[in-house]
Structures are given as structure tokens and as C-alpha cells.
Amino acid sequence: MLIGSIEAGGTKFVCAVGDEKGLVLDKTSFSTEEPDKTLAKVESFFKEHPIEALGVGTFGPVDLDKTSNSYGTILKTPKIKWQNYPFLQKLKNTFHVPVAMDTDVNTACLGEYYYGAAKEANSSLYITVGTGIGAGLVQNGQVFQGKNHSEMGHIFVQKHPDDDFKGSCPSHGACIEGLASGPAIEKRYGKKGYLLAENPGVWEMEAFYLAQAIMNYFVMLSPEKIILGGGVMKQEKLYQMVQDEFMNLLNGYLAVDNVKNLIVKPELKDEQGVIGAIMLGVKALKREI
């Protein structure tokens, strides 16, 4: 069984083929250009591989409401040429195999759920803290979705008492993405996060915000695992700071046996999206999606 996988990012596309065990057999990547040019490169990669199904984790927002006429279409995005692009339909027309699509972060969650840090769990939340903040939930092998996909980076949390930064989110200002994403850190301090590695106040504030986001996700969704990934989390000291702050906030209200087993690092390095998209393809083939 050869399954195709696309990780469609705003700046980079990764195309891969793999098997139903999530093993990646071949892979390529290229810059994201306008849709038709990009799709031509996708087509050329898969021409060499006889895939039986295709899974796609895409940037968004994207319409994932199956009852909608524009199911699989990219919605409002700063990448104007992609706006209203019927991405899923184009892929179906090109490859004539079952295609399943979800958001990038939901797809990454699926990868970690099956073959990464959550492989022993029945439910898992994957949070990425990078250029943006997003989170996806998988329970019993199913990606959680309401009418459309979640936008978990746009929740509001308490401001830190020492933080007078108004936030960097163009839509919401001081939502969690506007306060704690990579660009938020850079805008608040005038420097990229990794250049602030030795400034403890930066990371105390970051942990304060991430712990609140995790608190909100945890009390609402009750996942067994919370996987915290993305570029900002390369500051490894953040893990313990976030774990400690989360336990302070939770304050014994709900039982957590060991926070070090609850809030964890990803295990699939940068491949959770690619592997998750393979699993989406497997589900498309089995008609589970």
C-alpha cells in the first residue's frame, strides 16, 4: 500500500510517499508559489509514485465542513492567490484516488497520536508554538472537528501584570497567538526569541501565557497527552516552566498524576505532519474519512 502525503505550508510544501505504518519512503519539498505552479510540482513528484490514496495537511483557514459547497477550499488568507482556491477538488481531479484533507496542526496531531508521543494514549492534543499558535485534538483515532476546524490559537487569556504589549494578532490583538507566538515575542522585545535565550523574564512570561492556554485546553478537552511543539519550544527550558506554571494554575482542581507525562515533547522531530498526512491517506483509502 503506497500512500501519498502533502504537508502544505504557507511557505513550503512537503510531498512524501509512505506505507500504512507511517514509514516515509521518499520525500521532497519546495517553496509555496501560486496554486497552479505549486500543484504542477506536486503532480510531478507523485507521477513517479503509484499512490493509492492521498492525505493532505494544509495551512488555513480552510473549509472542512463536509456539507458545504466549498468543502476543501482555502478561505480568507493573506496569501491572496490561494484565497478561494478549491484545493481538495483540484487534487481529486489530478490524482483520481481517495483524498483526505485536514489542517496542518490536526494532521501533525494525528502523526504524533499514531507513531509519536501519544502512541499509548486514547486522546491527544498537539500544540504548535511558532509563526502562529495552533492546536489539534485526536480522540480514538478521530480528529476533533465542529462545524469547521478549530482555531485554538485565537483564545483569550489573562494578560501578565508586567506586559503592556498590545499583541500581534491582526484580528484579535492579544489573543494567545498575539501574545506568545514567535512573531509576538519578536515584536514585544524587538529581537527574535532565540536571541533572547539568556533573558529569563522573556521565558517566564512565555510560560505564563502557554500554561494558561494549556489550562484552557485541558479543562475544556480533557486530553490524556498534551504535546507541545513548534519553533518557540526549541527553548527546552520552557517545558519545565510551563509544566510548573500549569500545575500552579490548576491548583489541584483536577487530578494530574504526573505533569511530566501529561505535557510532553513531540517525538517525530519535524515529521509529524508528513506522517500524519500519510495516516489521513490511509483513512481515506479505508473510507474512514
Task: For the chain, give the number of residues.
Answer: 289
Return the number of the residue (156 or 189) whose C-beta is nearest a copy of itself. Answer: 156
84: its cell numbers: 478561494
Radius of gyration of the chain (CA): 19
Is residue 259 part of the contact set for a copy of itself (CB under 8 A)? no
Q: Which of 1, 25, 40, 219 binds a copy of itself (CB under 8 A)?
A: 219
Judged by DSSP in three states, 121 sits in coil
Which residue shows C-alpha cell 501533525? 108
| Subset of 99-138 contacting a copy of itself (CB under 8 A) | 122-123
Contact 103, 58 (CB under 8 A): yes
Is residue 145 part of the contact set for a copy of itself (CB under 8 A)? yes
Is residue 66 part of the contact set for a copy of itself (CB under 8 A)? no
Candidates 95-103, 147-155, 237-245, 264-272 — which segment interacts with a copy of itself by CB under 8 A?
147-155
State which H helix or E strand residue 276 sits in: helix 272-285
Contact 283, 55 (CB under 8 A): yes
Return the number of the residue (80 or 255) whose C-beta is nearest a copy of itself. Answer: 255
Cis before residue 200, ω within 30 degrees of 0? Answer: no
Least gap, CB of 122 to a copy of itself (angstroms): 7
Contact 26, 9 (CB under 8 A): no
Least gap, CB of 177 to a copy of itself (angstroms): 10
State which H helix or E strand residue 250 sits in: helix 237-250
Contact 60, 82 (CB under 8 A): no
Candidates 25-33, 139-147, 190-198, 238-246 — which segment interacts with a copy of itself by CB under 8 A?
139-147
Annotate each residue in 161-190 with x if it binds a copy of itself (CB under 8 A) or - if it does not, as one string. Answer: ----------xx-x----------------
| Subset of 223-252 contacting a copy of itself (CB under 8 A) | 223-224, 249, 251-252
Q: Which of 41, 79, 159, 160 binds a copy of itself (CB under 8 A)?
A: 159
**Could you tell me which residues come within 8 angstroms of residue 110 by beta carbon, excluding any fewer than 6 positions away?**
102, 136, 138, 143, 276, 279, 280
Is residue 68 part of the contact set for a copy of itself (CB under 8 A)? no
How many residues sit close enough to a copy of itself to count as binding (CB under 8 A)? 38
User: How far apart are the C-alpha atoms of 254 and 277, rounded to whole Å?
Assistant: 34
Return the number of the residue (197 or 220) whose C-beta is nearest a copy of itself. Answer: 220
Return the number of the residue (170 or 190) whose C-beta is nearest a copy of itself. Answer: 170
101 phi/psi in degrees, rounded to 5? -130, 140
The residues that touch a copy of itself, with contacts defined as CB under 8 A, are: 61, 75, 122-123, 139, 145-152, 154-159, 171-172, 174, 212, 215-217, 219-224, 249, 251-255
